[in-house]
Structure 1
């Protein structure tokens, strides 16, 4: 009986550790630039907003962020979209306790309306890469950083 309780505890601890490691794994979305500049982030967010305005009607479109925003680019993008007339539903960060004790496969009480929005910002050398995902559509653009300025390094690329 004692061995059975120990084995059960071991399995529980192993599952708990795996769950915690899964939650700690790097998030696939967000800003991956170390110490991003607020000015650079604002310029890129302005450009992204202008592209979204070209593609979607402001008063009729809601964006639901897939991930928690905690960087200057994301905050500027959300502010810009709202100023342009878009509805933006921000993702809520869950604590580790909420992640552990969440009921899996629980249907939402109300289906989310709107488009799912996420982004990835990364850098290679003097190029910043902005990848925007809106539902199944992918938009990407490179930005060139020279001295204290940043400029688009090409056109928007759209993949559906």
Structure 2
């Protein structure tokens, strides 16, 4: 009787541990990490999205490139970036929470070939003081650039850094 209770408690513990690990996999470490964005941040994010778009235009042909977002976009930078990319002629497939969960739990052969067309795109935007950091991931390539906010405007604080 006691052994059954111990075995059952071990099973429950393992089940809870597995569920916690899976829920950790479901959260995406992408998007905006700006805490309590100020109203001026919306203007900053538009300027940064314009700069990111200009860099993407330099690297990829617009009419024949599709980007598949890896994460749900719910911040002003991401919305401006998607709008800019579409205006430049890129196809952009936005991610939904449901599509992300399907990708996590699907077997590799179950993934729709339509969603595999194009390049995966994700970004991280963060802030430390008056510096904003934009990191862009396109398939295996990483692009990053810092932006400095000064006197109600924002400007690049260096060149683009590219890592493949």
TM range (shorter): 0.7 to 0.9
The answer on 1:126 being equivalent to 2:130 is: yes
Give TM-score, length-normalised by structure 2. 0.81
The answer on 1:11 being equivalent to 2:14 is: yes
Report the RMSD for the aligned CA atoms in angstroms.
2.4
Which position in structure 2 is the counterpart of 1:34? 35
CA distance in 1 between partners of 2:66 and 2:119 (Å): 6
- Structure 2, gaps ≥5 residues long: none
Runs of 4+ in 1 over 2 A off after TM superposition: 1-24, 101-107
Pair 1:125–1:113, CA change in 2 (3 A): same
CA distance in 1 between partners of 2:20 and 2:160 (Å): 42
Deviation, structure 1 residue 23: 3.4
- Return the structure number with greater helix share: 2
Which position in structure 2 is the counterpart of 1:154? 158
Give TM-score, length-normalised by structure 1. 0.83
Deviation, structure 1 residue 7: 4.2
Pair 1:52–1:21, CA change in 2 (3 A): closer
CA distance in 1 between partners of 2:142 and 2:125 (Å): 13
- Structure 1, gaps ≥5 residues long: none
- Identify which of 84, 87, 92 aligns with 2:88: 84
CA distance in 2 between partners of 1:55 and 1:18 (Å): 37
CA distance in 2 between partners of 1:138 and 1:21 (Å): 23
Pair 1:58–1:10, CA change in 2 (3 A): same
Which position in structure 1 is the counterpart of 2:69? 65
Which position in structure 2 is the counterpart of 1:47? 51
Deviation, structure 1 residue 22: 4.1
Deviation, structure 1 residue 135: 1.3
Larger CA deviation: 54-63 vs 129-138:
129-138
**Partner of 1:59: helix, strand, or coil?**
coil
Deviation, structure 1 residue 102: 3.9
CA distance in 2 between partners of 1:136 and 1:80 (Å): 22
Question: How many residues are matched?
Answer: 155
